Amino acid sequence: KAGVTQTPRYLIKTRGQQVTLSCSPISGHRSVSWYQQTPGQGLQFLFEYFSETQRNKGNFPGRFSGRQFSNSRSEMNVSTLELGDSALYLCASSSQGQETQYFGPGTRLLVL
């Protein structure tokens, strides 16, 4: 089985812009979770989608949003980018009823 894929791998944006990141889960996995990793805060949970519905959300401002499509692929969007949004954004997928999550390689976002 192919693993979790994320595109793009690297991205440079400027403050005030918006960005959309994409994640394709492992085939058959319907749950997709997103995380932000920064040196200061570590790995922080953003949100989770299952069957196109957001089931859980972390403590991030409304500028961070996401969605999931019928094929379980997911996108996350960050609007009005700030310097502090520079981070590695990771998505992970899991199969229904399983707690183990499998991560993609991440998207490295740099905000200038």
Q: Which residues bind another protein (CB under 8 A)?
A: 4, 6, 31-33, 35, 42-43, 45, 47-50, 55-56, 58, 88, 90, 92, 94, 99-106, 108
Distance in Å, CB of 105 to another protein, minimum? 5
Distance in Å, CB of 87 to another protein, minimum? 12
CB-nearer residue toward another protein: 13 or 57: 57
CB-nearer residue toward another protein: 86 or 102: 102
CB-nearer residue toward another protein: 67 or 105: 105
Distance in Å, CB of 25 to another protein, minimum? 11
35-44 contacts at long range (C-beta below 8 A, 24 or more positions apart): 35/89, 35/90, 35/91, 35/92, 36/60, 36/87, 36/88, 36/89, 36/90, 37/87, 37/88, 37/89, 37/90, 37/106, 38/86, 38/87, 38/88, 43/90
